[in-house]
Chains A and B, each alone.
Chain A
Amino acid sequence: MADQIILQPDEDMTFWDKHRLSLLLILSVLIALTLTVVSMVAYNASGTAQLDLSRPGVSSVSDKVDRTDKITEYSGFGAVNKDSINEFTKLYDAQAEKAKAVDAFNGDPLNPEILEFGITANE
C-alpha cells in the first residue's frame, strides 16, 4: 500500500506546529551563542589567552616561539641502577642549564623613571 501524505488543515495546527522551523533556528542560534560565551570565558579564565600569540598586539612575535627545543622524556619504567641515574642526571643537567640560562622578567621596565613619566620612584 502506497504511503499517503495527509495534509492537516491550517486551523488544526498548534502554535508549535506553525513555527517549528523558526523555533529550531532560534534555538540553534541560542545554543551556539551560549557555547561561544562559555568557550570565551574558559579561554580567558584559564590563562590560555595569555599563551595565544595570535592575538592582536602580540602576533608580531609568534614566529619567534622556540620550537626546536625538544627535550627527551625520561622513562618512568625500568630498573634503577647507577647507569640509569647517571643517564637521568645528564638529561636533567642539560635541561636545568637551559631553564636557568634566562633570568626571565628581571629588571624593572615599568619603573616610572624608565617610562619617562617625569616621576621619580620615591615620589
Chain B
Amino acid sequence: MIRALSTLAVVAALTVLFGLSAQTAHAQSTSLTSEQIDHIRSNCTTIKSTLNQLHASDALLRVNRGQVYESMASKLMGPFNSRLSNNRLDARATSAVTTSYRTALDAFRSNYKSYEEKLSSAIRIDCFNQPELFYNTIEQARINRAKVHDDVLKLHRSIDDYRSAVGDFLLNFERISE
C-alpha cells in the first residue's frame, strides 16, 4: 500500500514537473510555420539592417540618458541629502526616494545590458539558416527592451517623488522657521 502511494506521488510530481517545463519551453520559443520561415528568409537582410540601426540608436540613447539619470543622483539628490544631514535636519524622506531611485537606476543598467546582449546575439545569428532561433532571440530582446522602458518610467516617477519630498521638506522648514 505504502509502495503504491509513493509510486503515485512520484508519478504525480513528475507529471507536474513535465507540465511546468513544457509550459516554460512554450513560453520561451515559438514554432514558426514554413510560410513564416520563408518570409524571414526573404526579408533577412532588411531585418538585419533594421536591427543594426536600432542597436546603434539604442546604444546612443543608453549613453545619453544614462548620463542624465546618473547626474540626478550623484550631483543633486546625494549632495542635497548630505547637506540636510550635515545640518542635522530630517533627510529620511528624501533619502528613501534616493534609495528607490538608485535601485531603479541599477535595474535600468542591468536590464539594458541583458537587452543589448540579446539584440547583439540576434544580429550575429544567421537568419537564413536559423530563422526560428533568430525569431525567438528577437522576441527575448523585445521583452528585455520593454523592461528597460519600465525602468525609465520608474526613474521618472522617482524624480517626481523626490521633488515632492523636497517640497514637503520646504513647507515644514518654513513652518518651523517662522
Chain A residue numbers with a CB within 8 Å of B66 are 51
How close is A28's CB to chain B, nearest CB, in angstroms? 33
Q: A85-B170, A105-B61, A105-B152 are in contact. Are A75 and B83 (CB under 8 A)?
A: yes
Is A7 an interface residue when CB atoms closer than 8 A count as contact? no
Q: Is the CB of A118 within 8 A of B156?
A: no
Q: Is the CB of B75 within 8 A of A53?
A: no
Is B76 an interface residue when CB atoms closer than 8 A count as contact? yes
Q: Which residues in chain B, 84-129, are within 8 Å of chain A measured between CB atoms?
A: 84, 86-87, 89, 109-110, 112-113, 116, 120, 123
Chain B residue numbers with a CB within 8 Å of A92 are 76, 80, 162-163, 166
Q: Which residues in chain A, 44-60, are within 8 Å of chain B measured between CB atoms?
A: 47, 50-51, 53, 57-58, 60
Q: Is the CB of A47 within 8 A of B59?
A: no
Q: Is the CB of A116 within 8 A of B57?
A: no
What DSSP secondary structure best describes chain A's contact surface?
A: loop
The residue on B at minimum CB distance from A107 is B149
Chain A residue numbers with a CB within 8 Å of B40 are 117-118
Q: Is the CB of A71 within 8 A of B75?
A: yes
A: contact size bracket: 35 or more
Q: A47-B109, A99-B68 are in contact. Are A80 and B78 (CB under 8 A)?
A: no
B: contact size bracket: 35 or more
B59, B72, B89: the one contacting A80 at CB < 8 Å is B89
What DSSP secondary structure best describes chain B's contact surface?
A: helix
B72, B142, B174: the one contacting A110 at CB < 8 Å is B142
Chain B residue numbers with a CB within 8 Å of A118 are 35-36, 39-40, 43
Q: Is the CB of A116 within 8 A of B169?
A: no
Q: Is the CB of A57 within 8 A of B55?
A: yes
Q: Is the CB of B110 within 8 A of A112?
A: no
The residue on B at minimum CB distance from A97 is B159
Chain B residue numbers with a CB within 8 Å of A96 are 72, 159-160, 163
> Of B2-10, B11-19, B21-29, B44-52, which binds chain A?
B44-52
Complex: A77 Cα to B167 Cα, angstroms: 20
Chain A residue numbers with a CB within 8 Å of B71 are 71, 95
Is A111 an interface residue when CB atoms closer than 8 A count as contact? yes
Q: Is the CB of A85 within 8 A of B62?
A: no
A residues neighboring B (CB under 8 Å)? 47, 50-51, 53, 57-58, 60-61, 64-66, 69, 71-82, 84-85, 88-89, 91-93, 95-96, 98-100, 102-106, 108-112, 115-119, 123
* Top 5 closest pairs, chain A to chain B, by CB: A118-B39, A76-B82, A110-B142, A76-B79, A73-B75
